[in-house]
Amino acid sequence: MATPDRFRLDGQVVLLTGAGRGLGRAMALSYADAGAKVAGSSRTLSQLEETAELVAERGGEAISIATDVTDPAAVEAMVAETIDRFGRVDILMNNAGGGADGDGSPLEQLTDEQWRWGIDMNLTSQMLCARAVLPHMTERGSGVIINVASGFGLRGGRDNWMYVSAKAGVVNFTRSLAVTYGPAGVRTNCIAPGIFPHTPQALERWRGGRYIPIGRVGLAWEMGPLAVFLSSDAAAGISGETIAQDGGGLAAIGPTGWAPRVRLTEPT
């Protein structure tokens, strides 16, 4: 097989959560370009349908499944519908997640409900999706799972509780999946995105990427080629890894301008 062919995903089926916008939509388009069929999932059906239309414009095939990925029954139904429509699931892209109400507040003000919701949205959801799809993959003897964490899963953040804790859990959950299910033919890896702002306000918050070593923030389309690579035969020997796509932020002394600001004191 020629090297370029190893990056192709012709005839394969990817189940992609959080596909309605942002990085999820960008990855859906890249998967379609590589020849994969896309089962897109998110809470908002209208956004999913927009993604499916964009996939169709590129000559691809996509279906939309509105799903609450924190609901075990809904996740099982999502996987069942994907298999019913496409006959298989070759790739699970666990992308759904996001900031949680309560992050940004002092810990003593955090409620139990805020903690549980933040953990469920960013970690439990990935467990539920993996649990639902693994029997199908192990029965076939092949499959790829890619979990999306964050650079904040590899460092702390001021008044950031659920998000950093959940994303750190995703990193080690990925490793355990790789160790446990690798012998059954299932590869599992993790992508840790850096700063990918989707609004002018977010871009301003991150100072346009001033503190990122490459000198700019991430562009949504850049996630797609990495996702395709990790899903393809070109990455057949890669499993259990977390790959940071952050412009070198984690390599910097003060990563991405998010080093803690502290009051200076005189040495004693």
The total of other beta-carbon atoms located within 10 Å of residue 246's CB is 24
What's at 33, amino acid-wise? D
Q: Count Cβ atoms within 10 A of the Cβ of residue 109 and give its class: 0-12 exposed, 13-18 middle, 19 or more buried.
A: exposed
Rounded CA gap, 261 and 243, in Å? 27
Task: Give yes or no for a contact between 170 and 244, defined as CB atoms under 8 angstroms apart.
Answer: no
Q: Is 163 a catalytic residue?
A: yes
Catalytic-role residue among 31, 163, 181, 211 = 163
Task: Give yes or no for a contact between 196 and 217, defined as CB atoms under 8 angstroms apart.
Answer: yes
Residues catalogued as catalytic: 163
